[in-house]
Structure 1
């Protein structure tokens, strides 16, 4: 039995992480100061898109951190607004007293994350988006860990986006399995999943289980996620992420 458990661990955790490491470390790892942070062209141009827009993105973290996880953020544009506003959490400056929550138009909504191309997870427009924007602002302002940032197991950028998603059911956000920190709950060890389509039990992001329509079945061990997505069929593995049908808006 022990041997079978060890083999299962190798197949489901260690091998996927090693495969992710080989891919990430073989990529071009420029210095953070010169890595791309310009627009990818995914987001619509506010000048030609008067309707309200809500989008959620995730991109591989910079350098070795990208082996394990992604950085996620939310971008919104109210109706007839001339620019997007980004909502995200960053660790830089927190140890010196700066708040972790960053809100503003300081970079493009769809920018490369230090050289890594983002994945669009949610794209909502029109009246539905307009109704969600004030809810997103309120949820962001209620985030309880503004004075803290911990890469693992959280609270971090993914903990923040998951917090907003739990408080804005209309997002129906299914964060990638590589969004380490998404299971670091801000409202106790048990409650709704980030997508609001099921339930989640999580012990400080270190161990837990999620059962939901959007997320499917996920098991979290030390921040690493193994699972099965039933609604959009896929296997979820640490490091690699999803293997199966693509995630995000069609």
Structure 2
């Protein structure tokens, strides 16, 4: 009788907690993806991606004009309906005095690591890229040899290694290559699905920026907290979070809203 008497008041409380959790899930995860889907189907992204524009978006000056060393990370919405949820990221480097940029993508076709397969700042099958990281000069020059070495040693480099979800994919490649240069302060967009895939197999590790910790459930879920990353919650690749370094919120499908990154 005592057990029954004690448990009865708990039922309404548990019910209220359950409703609040469900409401929070709908607001934070489901609603943003629904909005992103609506925006996608109202845009021209549904057109034939095979014939889409892949020309330069004009985000980089000619290599011969900019004599400094350059490191860039770009991101653009990915191909077809997957663009509702996800972005494709890639790395561009140029050593000091070099006459050309080098672009590195990780793709699902051909050799996974594709070098100079597209213009350095090219549109990704019609979708204009954004600059995620821009570093020039001495800091870039110091990081480039490490970045190139990490690309050469990347473990998932054979045909068949690429997996769109939960990884390893293009964003896994960029996230893990760039861990060799944490001083650059890279934070990939929360729409970069695959960035949290455990490349090293560890479920608990330092965040890519080296400023926090990440709990990773095989890429299917997880939790991160760090100065650069902020707080991020990953549910089956959909990531929501808040940032502190440059105050912002991040929503699945919709991305970042807040103070513009440098």
Corresponding residue SS for 2:59: coil
1:117 aligns with 2:128: yes
Counterpart of 2:151 (choices 140, 147, 152) is 140
Count the aligned residue pairs: 242
Q: Counterparts of 1:171 and 1:139 in 2: how far apart (Å)? A: 15
1:194 aligns with 2:208: yes
State the 1:243 CA deviation: 1.7
* Greater displacement, 184-193 / 214-223: 184-193
TM-score (norm 1): 0.93
Q: Counterparts of 2:156 and 2:250 in 1: how far apart (Å)? A: 28
Structure 1 match to 2:9: none
Q: Counterparts of 1:100 and 1:221 in 2: how far apart (Å)? A: 26
State the 1:30 CA deviation: 2.6
Corresponding residue SS for 2:49: coil
Structure 2 match to 1:208: 222
Structure 1 match to 2:41: 25
- In the TM superposition, 1:24-43 aligns within 5 A as 24-28=40-44, 29-43=46-60
Deviations 1:142-166 (CA, angstroms, capped at 9, x unpaired): 2221231111111100000110122
Where in structure 2 are there 5+ consecutive unaligned residues?
1-16
Counterpart of 2:64 (choices 44, 47, 55) is 47
Where in structure 1 are there 5+ consecutive unaligned residues?
94-98
Structure 2 match to 1:230: 244
8 Å contact from structure 1 (residues 89, 156) kept in 2: yes
Q: Counterparts of 2:188 and 2:213 in 1: how far apart (Å)? A: 14
Q: Counterparts of 1:236 and 1:229 in 2: how far apart (Å)? A: 8
Structure 1 match to 2:76: 59
1:149 aligns with 2:165: no
Counterpart of 1:126 (choices 131, 134, 137) is 137
Deviations 1:175-226 (CA, angstroms, capped at 9, x unpaired): 1110100000211222221222222111111111111111101111111111
- Greater C-alpha Rg: 2
Structure 2 match to 1:166: 179
Report runs of 4+ in structure 1 exceeding 3 Å deviation.
none
Structure 2 match to 1:89: 106
Q: Counterparts of 2:96 and 2:127 in 1: how far apart (Å)? A: 29
TM-score (norm 2): 0.89
- In the TM superposition, 1:8-23 aligns within 5 A as 8-23=24-39
Q: Counterparts of 2:156 and 2:48 in 1: how far apart (Å)? A: 29
8 Å contact from structure 1 (residues 177, 238) kept in 2: yes
